[in-house]
Amino acid sequence: MVNNLKTAMPIFALLLLFYSGAHAENAPVQSALYAELQAHFSRQDPIYSQDILAAVAGRTGLSAAELRPRIGALLDTLSAQRKNETETLAALLLQGSPDITAERTDKLIGYLIKEGHKVLANENNVLLEKGVKKAARKAKVPFFQSRAYILKALEWAQLISGESQQQKIEPFGFLVGGKTNRFEVALDPLFLFFDTEDEAFVREQVREVQRFIIPAMVRRLPESDAILWAVRERESNALVVPDYHLRVGIDNLSFTGSNLDLKPCVETTIDLVHREHKVQLMLESFSFCSEKNGSATTRELAPFWNEAADAIREHALKRLGRQQPF
């Protein structure tokens, strides 16, 4: 498996374009390339460029001459992802964590793209291992870490692409947890929002915020057709087998607007992991301010917790390609 992994790595950059927004005409090329990489990973033989091109040509009905510019276009799309620092790139860089920094991972991808272009420009039957070693060396990433990264990123690409077809049909389950990180809330907005000067009361309303958001999420996640059920971590058992583990860290709570209509805002860190494959699909900051539950309409935060839970749900589903149609 090790030799096979080494030789497959240059083409790997193309595989990641499944979720990169490439043109529809290249989708069959992406699918065929992905299938062939998976097939070659099951064997120990070295991988040569012409073998990959011939196999993809057989699946797509395109000639090798037609495939080269299309695969080149996929590489260019990935380069654009890097330049624009897109959400897809952020998810891809995350697969190197914690062993490889995002900076090094980005450089590795960049050098793999360059090596991929060299392979496409070469009419000879190129053994791909040489280009991979060169990319890893230039990125200053140890080769064994590069291999581990490729395995994780391949798993990520599989979840984002191949399994998404099944997920569009079958709703999934969520295990939900979270914690409140240490932060200070200004008292004056709390006094105004709750219309009281009882400090003990207002502090209790914002103490350990996950006590309110996590139950709200468990209740409201299944309101999406894409989610069958949700359960809290502390209520989980051996019979509960979720598809995803969603953890929400509460980083800050504040208020915006005027004294006549203060609206709460929450800053969070969302961590989304595919449970079975242990692939981290998301680790990012997410902020949300109420659009309709200010002090002019309510003196309670409960409606806001529901509103925030809905926003987090839709943000996570967007990352999974399952956002709700409106």
62 contacts: CB under 8 Å, gap ≥ 6: 29, 56, 70
CA 29 – CA 27 distance, rounded (Å) = 5
At residue 49 the predicted structure's pLDDT band, cuts being 50, 70 and 90, is confident
At residue 294 the predicted structure's pLDDT band, cuts being 50, 70 and 90, is very high
Lowest-pLDDT range, 129-143, 197-211, 237-251, 285-299?
129-143
Going from N- to C-terminal start, the domains of the chain cover 2-162, 169-319
pLDDT at 1: 35
CA 171 – CA 92 distance, rounded (Å) = 24
Amino acid identity of residue 286, one-letter, is F
* Three-state secondary structure call for residue 195: coil
251 contacts: CB under 8 Å, gap ≥ 6: 181, 183, 267, 268, 269, 285
SS3 content of the chain, % helix, strand, coil (to 5): 55, 15, 25
pLDDT at 164: 45
pLDDT at 50: 86
Compute how many other C-beta atoms are within 10 angstroms of the C-beta atom of residue 190.
23
At residue 35 the predicted structure's pLDDT band, cuts being 50, 70 and 90, is low
Ranked by mean pLDDT, which of 44-48, 220-224, 234-238, 281-285 comes out on top? Answer: 220-224
Tell me the C-alpha to C-alpha distance, in Å, between residue 144 and each of 45, 101, 133, 246, 320.
Answer: 19, 15, 11, 30, 29
The per-residue pLDDT for range 183-192, each reduced to its tens digit, is: 999 999 999 9
The answer to whether the CB of 99 falls within 8 A of the CB of 148 is: yes
Average pLDDT (81-99) is 82
At residue 77 the predicted structure's pLDDT band, cuts being 50, 70 and 90, is confident
The answer to whether the CB of 257 falls within 8 A of the CB of 193 is: no
Which residue in this structure is represented by tokens 């190129």? Answer: 126
pLDDT at 297: 94
pLDDT at 180: 96
The per-residue pLDDT for range 158-183, each reduced to its tens digit, is: 666 654 444 444 788 999 999 999 99
Average pLDDT (245-271) is 96
Amino acid identity of residue 152, one-letter, is K
Nearest to residue 144, comparing CAs of 132, 128, 160?
132
Is the pLDDT reported for residue 202 higher than 80? yes
Average pLDDT (226-254) is 92
Nearest to residue 114, comparing CAs of 122, 124, 102, 125?
122
CATH of domain 169-319: 3.40.50
Q: Burial of 32 by CB count in 10 Å (0-12 exposed, 13-18 middle, 19+ buried)?
A: buried
Higher pLDDT, 129 or 71: 71
pLDDT at 64: 85
pLDDT at 160: 63
pLDDT at 266: 97
Q: How many residues belong to the chain?
A: 326
At residue 252 the predicted structure's pLDDT band, cuts being 50, 70 and 90, is very high
Question: Is 0.75 surpassed by the pTM of this model?
Answer: no
pLDDT at 18: 41
The mean of the pLDDT values for the chain is 82
